[in-house]
Amino acid sequence: MDYLLSDEQKMIKELAHKIAEEKIRPVAAKYDRSEEYPWDIIKIIAEADLFGLFIPEEYGGLSVNVLNLCLATEELSRACGGIAVCYAASALGTFPIVLFGNEEQKKKYLPDLAKGKKVAAFAITEPEAGSDASAIKTTAKKEGDYYILNGLKHFITNGGDAQVYILIAMTDKTKGARGASAFIIEKGTPGFTFGKKEDKFGIRASSTCELIFTDCKIPKENLLSKEGMGFIVTMKTFDMSRPGVAAQALGIAQGALELAVKYAKERNQFGKSISSFQGIQWMLADMATEIEAARALVYSTARMVDAGIKDVAKESAMAKMFASDVAMKVAVDSLQIFGGYGYMRDYPIEKYVRDAKITQIYEGTNQIQRNIIALQLIKEMAK
Amino acid sequence: MNIIICIKQVPETTEVRINPETNTLIREGVKSIINPFDMYAIEEGMRLKEKFGGKTTVITMGPPQAEAALREAISMGIDEAILLSDRAFAGSDTWATSYTLSCAIKKISQFDVIICGKQASDGDTAQVGPGIAAHLDLPQVTYVKKIEEITDKKMRLERLMEEGFEIIETPLPVLLTVVKEINEPRLPSLKGMIRAKQAKIIAWDASDIQAEPSSIGLNGSPTQVVKIFTPAPRKSGQIFQGDTQGVVEKIAELLKKDILS
């Protein structure tokens, strides 16, 4: 389908596609097995200026454009969802600074993030606070010109490898949801250490890690916006980044479909290519249509965000929920088309199933997304 | 440092089809790319500029569509691009082509290094680079696999041989042809692609470069393509079995008959 992309958007897609095919696809299986952080690919993505797609020009980026970010993420994900998320999660960790940072903070952090010299991460989740984000226990106590951080975050994407972290911590427990604040903190700060690196089912090229804060002292200048703004920073950031996760899911789905079509053409049984069987054709038709529907939803949502429309929570949730459900279904169906070979790790398709699953869970489970959509719908209809 | 890189736009596929009447490539419907070896030349030019400062210029001789190859080079970071295009250049063999390129280089006049790819994937002659050096009376080093250092108007480099490599020292200016062992070409950057789209390509025709009409195009080509054909597939060989002495004698007889008859 022609989405009437601009010349610049076509360039972004073309360049990300080239990186995916020439640089990522040949090493995807290697990183999936070794779980090493793909710094060499990050360097290539940075040199291509793709980190500039979520950073304003005056700080070394190109411009903040969610559709552009989605186009790049989708193409990279076609080759490997794990490597692509290292890039997309840096966007997640950068948006809070772009949206809420003051001039000093933007000047200090954004140029290195634009060049891909540093990578970012977003840290809110805790062992007792996943979907129930307001149950976070990490504290930030103001003492003079500093905040003292204590607590534990876990399941943080890019954790351990990123240099810049956005941390959501409680500054005032008595205020409930309005008692959380957002901070910028750098790797290497005394009192900030990393715990366990998770052994994951999928997206194994990306690192997922615990962050441990033990009387960690940070200057008050590291507070983003004002005290109490923590959850607003989070919600606004997710509104921008959800289309990105949806784009990752879309890319995984597209990559899986392409592998399935190619395999179906090559595989012969009963004297002919299995792509000539109606059963296979109907599966492929359904998969392709679902992907296109997901793509239309993701691109439309991204365009809404870029147009500055403030109320995008419902659409963002729809895009993420639908695209990730499609990715999981398409990946599993693609594996089915591969038959017995699909089950073997020598063949690339099983990785797509493993990578797709997380897109239904992180950045707000699909159950939470449904809550968001329903509540918004009811609010709108009540008028 | 002023660096000139000569590139050629070639058809993408190695399975080219030949028009049996004109003995030339059928280019329609085939995607065009920068000749693969020239990508290494562009990359090496970029690296020299990054190390020593200066300017990179890429030139190509070709039809108007060759502009796309120049823009791709700009997207990799090349500063300036020149297209040599003129109906009079058509039908050039490697001698006429290298003459034309050398006229353009003479017009540019300021250069320290000229870099070419080892050979073009469509012609495969590897003659144009050395031809340019001959026309310009410049030292040349072919099959360069590494530029070790440049000091004081001298360059030390490694030249790939079949077994190992030579270390060669040459004065500047010099013409180099490079092999793929020399580097890993970079991908274009987004900023580069945007720049490339907006870039103004300098276009020169035969009169702009003061080329002698008798030295360009078909007129200036001492060689002519008489016939291009796919050689017949090799017949499978024969296996002789038995005791070594007997087999050797049998083969010797066959060879004698074959060679001497």
Contact present, A62 and A49 (Cβ < 8 Å): yes
* Three-class DSSP category at A360: coil
Mean pLDDT, rounded, for B122-148? 95
CB within 8 Å: A49 and B190: yes
> B153 in a domain, yes or no?
yes
B190 touches chain A (CB under 8 A): yes
Residue of B nearest to A60 (CA): B191
Residue of B nearest to A19 (CA): B187
B186 touches chain A (CB under 8 A): yes
* Three-class DSSP category at A111: helix
CB within 8 Å: B187 and A12: no
> B257 in a domain, yes or no?
no
Residue of A nearest to B189 (CA): A48
Give the CA radius of gyration of chain B: 22
> B99 in a domain, yes or no?
yes
B189 touches chain A (CB under 8 A): yes
Kindly state the percentage of chain B with pLDDT values over 70: 95
> B246 in a domain, yes or no?
no
What is the C-alpha separation between A252 and A25, in angstroms, rounded? 12
Give the count of beta carbons closer than 10 Å to the beta carbon of residue A115.
Answer: 16
- Per-residue model confidence (pLDDT) at position B24: 67
B193 touches chain A (CB under 8 A): yes
The residue with tokens 């601009």 is A6
Distance of CA A7 to the CA centre of its chain: 25
Q: Is A101 exposed, middle or buried (0-12, 13-18, 19+ CB in 10 A)?
A: buried
Both tokens of A57, joined, read 């020009």
Of A154-163, A222-231, B164-173, B218-227, least confident by mean pLDDT is: B218-227
Mutate which of A49, A68, A71 to test chain B, going by most B C-beta atoms within 10 A? A49
> B228 in a domain, yes or no?
no
Domain CATH number, residue B180:
3.40.50.620
A363 catalytic? Reply is: yes
B188 touches chain A (CB under 8 A): yes
How many CB contacts within 8 angstroms connect chain A with chain B?
35
B259 touches chain A (CB under 8 A): no
Q: How far is CA A29 from CA A352, A358, B195, in A?
A: 11, 18, 35
Domain A231-381 CATH assignment equals 3.30.1490.20: no
The residue with tokens 């090799």 is B234
Chain B contact set for A47 (CB, 8 A):
186-187, 189
Mutate which of A7, A12, A13, A15 to test chain B, going by most B C-beta atoms within 10 A? A15
DSSP-derived secondary structure for A329-378: HHHHHHHHHHGGGGGSTTSTHHHHHHHHHHHTTSSS-HHHHHHHHHHHHH
Distance of CA B43 to the CA centre of its chain: 14
More confident residue, B230 or A309: A309
The residue type of B17 is: R
Nearest to A182 by CA among A236, A144, A229, A122: A229
Residue of B nearest to A50 (CA): B190
Give the count of beta carbons closer than 10 Å to the beta carbon of residue B19.
Answer: 11
Q: Is A173 exposed, middle or buried (0-12, 13-18, 19+ CB in 10 A)?
A: exposed
Contact present, B125 and B158 (Cβ < 8 Å): no
Range of the domain at B129: 2-215
Residue B61 pLDDT > 80: yes
Chain B contact set for A8 (CB, 8 A):
194
Sequence-ordered alpha helix ranges (H) in B127-260: 128-136, 190-198, 244-260
CB within 8 Å: A49 and B191: yes
CB within 8 Å: B194 and A8: yes
Residues B181-201 have pLDDT tens digits of 999 999 999 999 999 999 999
- Per-residue model confidence (pLDDT) at position B22: 65
Residue of A nearest to B193 (CA): A11
CB within 8 Å: A12 and B189: no
Nearest to A64 by CA among A231, A232, A193, A237: A237
- Per-residue model confidence (pLDDT) at position B26: 72
CB within 8 Å: A44 and B187: yes
Nearest to A115 by CA among A96, A94, A133: A94
Count up the domains in chain B and report the number.
1
CB within 8 Å: A47 and B194: no
Looking at domain A7-119, its CATH class is mainly alpha
- Per-residue model confidence (pLDDT) at position A326: 98
A 44-83 residues with CB < 8 A to B: 44, 47-50, 52-53, 62
What is the C-alpha separation between A37 and A27, in angstroms, rounded? 12
From B187, B188, B190, residue closest to A62, measured CB to CB: B190
What interhelical angle do A66-79 and A7-19 show, nearest 10?
A: 30
Nearest to A39 by CA among A73, A79, A90, A75: A90
What is the C-alpha separation between A216 and A152, in angstroms, rounded? 12
> B12 in a domain, yes or no?
yes
- Per-residue model confidence (pLDDT) at position B167: 97
Mean pLDDT, rounded, for B87-99? 93
Distance of CA A267 to the CA centre of its chain: 34
The residue with tokens 């020439």 is A22
Annotated domain spans of chain A: 7-119, 121-228, 231-381
Mutate which of A43, A47, A50, A71 to test chain B, going by most B C-beta atoms within 10 A? A47
Sequence-ordered alpha helix ranges (H) in B89-243: 94-108, 128-136, 190-198
Residues A286-295 have pLDDT tens digits of 999 999 999 9
The residue type of A230 is: G
Prediction ipTM score: 0.85
- Of A198, A227, A315, A363, catalytic: A363
Both tokens of A117, joined, read 């010299």
- Per residue of chain A (383 residues), what is the pLDDT tens digit? 899 999 999 999 999 999 999 999 999 999 999 999 999 999 999 999 999 999 999 999 999 999 999 999 999 999 999 999 999 999 999 999 999 999 999 999 999 999 999 999 999 999 999 999 989 999 999 999 999 999 999 999 999 999 999 999 999 999 988 999 999 999 999 999 999 899 999 999 999 999 999 999 999 999 999 999 999 999 999 988 999 999 999 999 999 999 999 999 999 999 999 999 999 999 999 999 999 999 999 999 999 999 999 889 999 999 999 999 999 999 999 999 999 999 999 999 999 999 999 999 999 999 999 999 999 999 999 87
CB within 8 Å: A23 and B194: no
What is the C-alpha separation between A272 and B30, in angstroms, rounded? 30
Element (DSSP H or E) covering residue A77: helix A66-79
DSSP-derived secondary structure for A201-230: SS-TTS-EEEEEEEEEEEEGGGEESSTT-H
A27 touches chain B (CB under 8 A): no
Give the count of beta carbons closer than 10 Å to the beta carbon of residue B62.
Answer: 20
A35 touches chain B (CB under 8 A): no
Closest approach of B77 to chain A, Cα-based (Å): 11
Mutate which of B50, B72, B193, B194 to test chain A, going by most A C-beta atoms within 10 A? B193
Contact present, A218 and A146 (Cβ < 8 Å): yes
What is the C-alpha separation between B171 and A158, in angstroms, rounded? 50
Residues B69-86 have pLDDT tens digits of 999 999 999 999 999 999
- Per-residue model confidence (pLDDT) at position B261: 61
Contact present, A169 and A234 (Cβ < 8 Å): no
Nearest to A249 by CA among A360, A349, A348: A360
From B190, B194, B197, residue closest to A48, measured CB to CB: B190
What is the C-alpha separation between A337 and A330, in angstroms, rounded? 10
The residue type of B106 is: K
Looking at domain A121-228, its CATH class is mainly beta
CB within 8 Å: B189 and A49: yes
Contact present, A207 and A158 (Cβ < 8 Å): yes
> B244 in a domain, yes or no?
no
Contact present, A192 and A163 (Cβ < 8 Å): no
